[in-house]
Homo-oligomer: A and B are copies of this chain.
Amino acid sequence: MKIGICGAGTVGRGVTQILQDNHALITARTGKAIEVTVVASRSAPTDKIFKDIAYTADIVSVCRRDDVDVVVELIGGTTDAKVLIETALGAGKSVVTANKALIAEHGDALFALAAAHKVSLLYEAAVAGSIPIIKVIQESLAGNQVAWLAGIINGTANFILTEMAASGPTRTFDEVLQEAQALGYAEADPTFDIEGIDAAHKLTILSALAFDQPLSLPQVQIEGISSLDPVDFKFARELGFKIKHLGIARCQDGQLEMAVHPSFVPTTAILSQIDGVQNAVLVCGDAAGEILCTGAGAGAGPTGSAVVSDLIDLVQGTCSGGSLGGRSSALKPLPVRPVAEVASGYYLRIGVEDQPGVMSAVTSILARRTISLDKILQEDIAPNRSFIVLVTDPIQHGVITDAINELQEMPSVVAPVQSIRVFR
């Protein structure tokens, strides 16, 4: 099988390296050879692994070459990459991509195009790097009705949260973000990662697969991590939690919920142990129960490995059509649960003036809405100032929002109320 690599960045180099280093092994395992015949990128790659491979700056021309059976799209973005993939599929060539934004935003049309041309569009590398979560949901859990899934699916955000939780915690979000940028874990413009957009792309893909849904990025509720304060990490630790940025999707009573937000995760849950740039996805199937997979979420080798696994599925002819395959146009979208009705436990941090009766006033606002409390603590922060910290039992978002609004109106509440959802 002859492939054209479009994009000679980190992942393009990674894929080429794996196919060269493990050529004999892959050929022995599959009975067929996978050869990179051309690399396409805007400027000629200088890396020596490309030296014996034809080069072109005309990326779309790869789709017209007779010596290319499969196009690997690693240029990123949603404009040129879309044209490239459409051209390749239209030319009857299967495509492997790592492009989560493109799949999340335009996947349904692209899958339909692939089906119309009887070729495949594979994207294992688009979600969670090395972790084979697409295959696990699409194939290993194909006999299961998935109840919910939850994942740490953005390594940049997880690195920042891990650092903020460590040693103190005293460092602010901005300090840790700068460290992440210096280390190359966060981009110069980190918005996509820290505001949850990248995670929402990935959650959209996982939800579509797990719940047999069309891709529906606009339905994902998105909340980033930039409003987290060091003191939230301190209280999380005292209360037995870690703060993780989770993508969560759930199907309950025929309604779908999809959300990306910071979460208090109990330290007894494995998800809380996933630190640094690691990713993890936990899926709950009706038969299998809970399965968790964890590994590197990015990088030349890990993401390259996922691309190569798709190439091997192609060369062996073992791609499963699956729920996001050729039938995606036939999928019926489930109704989305109104945000106000989504239930969760909540951590609330309320900055108050120390006055007689303040705790009683706070708790009575909650009690009036039958919000019951799991944990409560009060801590002085300055003369005459303290935090009241509460963890509630699960309650609908609309109810807690009303309560927070009323708390915020109290004269003795002197700072914005911080609220963070609790994972289970």
Contacts of A285 in B (CB 8 A): 130, 305
Decide if A294 is an interface residue (CB 8 Å cutoff). yes
**Binding-face segment, A84-92, A318-326, A381-389:** A318-326
Cα A296 to Cα B14 in complex, Å, equals 34
Instruction: Pick from B143, B291, B306, B316: contact of A294, CB below 8 A.
Output: B291
Q: Out of B14, B26, B288, name the residue touching A142 (CB < 8 Å).
A: B26
Q: Within 8 Å of chain B (Cβ to Cβ): is A57?
A: no
- Of A287, A290, A320, chain B has the most CB atoms within 10 Å of the CB of A287
> What B residues does A305 contact at CB under 8 A?
140-141, 143-144, 285, 287-288
The answer on a CB contact under 8 Å between A29 and B136 is: no
Whether A145 contacts B289 by the Cβ 8 Å rule is no
As for how many copies of this chain the complex holds, the number is: 2
Which residue of B has the minimal Cβ distance to A134?
Answer: B140
Docked Cα-Cα span, A124 to B273, in Å, equals 27
Contact for A270 among B22, B145, B273, CB less than 8 A: B273
Q: Is the CB of A143 within 8 A of B312?
A: yes
Chain B residues with CB below 8 A from A124, complex form: 140
Closest B residue, CB atoms, query A291: B295
Contacts of A140 in B (CB 8 A): 124, 132, 135, 305-306, 309
Any B CB within 8 A of the CB of A247: no
A26 contact set on B, CB distance < 8 A: 142-143
**A304–chain B nearest beta-carbon distance, Å:** 6
Min C-beta distance of A155 to chain B, whole Å: 12
Q: Contacts A141-B305, A143-B308, A270-B273 known; A293 to B296 CB distance under 8 Å?
A: no
Contact of A29 among B212, B273, B306 (CB under 8 A): B212
Q: How far is the CA of A136 from the CA of B139 in the complex (A)?
A: 11
Measured between beta carbons, the chain B residues less than 8 angstroms from A294 are 270, 291-293
- Closest residue of chain B to A140, judged by CB? B132
Bound-state CA distance A422–B321 (Å) is 44
| A139-B288 in contact (CB<8A) | no
Nearest chain B residue, comparing its CB with the CB of A326: B31
B22 and A286 contacting across the interface, CB-CB below 8 Å: yes
Which B residues touch A14, using CB under 8 A?
287
Q: Confirm or deny: A183 has a beta carbon within 8 angstroms of a beta carbon on chain B.
A: no
Measured in the bound complex, the distance between the Cα atoms of B32 and A267 in whole Å is 43
Q: A409 to B288, alpha carbons, bound, how many Å? A: 52
Q: Are A308 and B320 in contact (CB under 8 A)?
A: no
Query: Could you jot down 25 A-B contacts, CB within 8 Å?
Result: A18-B144, A21-B287, A22-B287, A130-B289, A130-B291, A131-B291, A132-B135, A139-B312, A140-B305, A140-B309, A141-B309, A143-B308, A143-B309, A143-B311, A287-B304, A287-B305, A287-B308, A288-B296, A288-B301, A289-B295, A289-B301, A290-B296, A291-B294, A293-B294, A313-B320
B-contacting residues of A (Cβ < 8 Å)? 14, 17-19, 21-22, 25-26, 28-31, 124, 130-132, 135-136, 139-145, 212, 270, 273-274, 285-296, 299, 301-302, 304-306, 308-309, 311-313, 316, 318-323, 327
Apart from A287-B305, A318-B320: 9 A-B pairs, beta carbons within 8 A:
A21-B145, A21-B287, A31-B321, A124-B140, A132-B139, A270-B294, A289-B295, A290-B296, A291-B294
Q: What are the 9 A-B residue pairs with the smallest beta carbon separation, nearest first?
A: A143-B308, A132-B140, A288-B305, A291-B295, A130-B288, A287-B305, A287-B301, A318-B318, A142-B312
